[in-house]
Homo-oligomer: A and B are copies of this chain.
């Protein structure tokens, strides 16, 4: 599918806009895909899911890979970090009202997301609104934080018959989820981090798991951590990989 086949709108003619969800990967700007870089160069405006460019990690990653986006029109919006579904929907609706005239004018907008737009991203909510409104929506995949974290640790995530489970750390039943066979990845631990850390310490002491964690993956301040005790108490940008003990072979050197 060649995005370039999309004709550009001519002056005065209404054309349907396109909303792109662009995954910028896990932190290293070089992890953007060739397609993500092209779409960012071509897009008319860039949607930034923070109040300011400066505080938006996804933008800071993207602008290093594609400096041209600094000169583009930017739609900054402060998405409330909340667990309240009604409040979330209201916020998404308010953001969409600012995006709507852009798409109605036949422009293309690139909505930046860390990692991949299909995994715990605000993009899918915005995409549903745009689509219900008759606009085209396209997802440009990105490298997930768990793939990048595994690469940083020099380990694999799964092989052969092993399962891989991606678990949001704020899930209440986290202890239950840690019983799944194979590898567990815990993402977005946030306020639940102390419960998770305690559960992992117990599993580690029982000799049943090996714990790896990467904080600020791919960024200059990246930290690679080994063992549950090393997991920082602010879990926001930390990806935790829990391997069943029988899975673990000596890790490869740090990339």
Tell me the chain A residues, 111-161 only, with Cβ under 8 Å from chain B: 116-121, 123-125, 127-128, 131-132, 136-144, 147-148, 150-151, 154-161
Whether B34 lies near A65 (C-beta < 8 A) is yes
Q: Across the interface, which residues of B come within 8 angstroms of A29, CB to CB?
A: 34
Q: Is the CB of A250 closer than 8 A to any CB of chain B? A: yes
A162, closest chain B residue (CB): B168
Partner of A158, one of B23, B120, B125: B120
Interface size class of A (residues with CB under 8 A): 35 or more
Q: Across the interface, which residues of B come within 8 angstroms of A46, CB to CB?
A: none
Q: Across the interface, which residues of B come within 8 angstroms of A151, CB to CB?
A: 117-118, 138-141
Tell me the chain A residues, 237-255 only, with Cβ under 8 Å from chain B: 249-250, 252-253, 255
A120-B158, A142-B143, A144-B147 given. 14 additional CB < 8 A pairs?
A28-B35, A118-B147, A118-B155, A118-B158, A119-B158, A120-B160, A128-B249, A139-B255, A141-B147, A161-B170, A163-B166, A163-B168, A164-B165, A180-B180
Per CB-CB distance, the 6 closest pairs between chain A and chain B, nearest first, are A139-B151, A124-B156, A138-B255, A118-B150, A30-B35, A164-B166
Tell me the chain A residues, 1-37 only, with Cβ under 8 Å from chain B: 1, 23, 25-26, 28-35, 37
Which of A147, A160, A165 has the most chain B CB within a 10 Å cutoff? A147
Q: Is the CB of A42 closer than 8 A to any CB of chain B? A: no
Report how far A249 CA is from B1 CA in the complex, Å. 24
Q: Is the CB of A72 closer than 8 A to any CB of chain B? A: no
Closest Cβ of chain B to A220, distance in Å, is 10
Q: Can you name 18 A-B residue pairings with CB atoms under 8 Å?
A: A23-B147, A25-B141, A26-B141, A28-B35, A118-B156, A119-B147, A119-B158, A124-B156, A131-B253, A136-B253, A137-B255, A140-B151, A158-B168, A161-B168, A161-B170, A164-B165, A164-B166, A165-B180
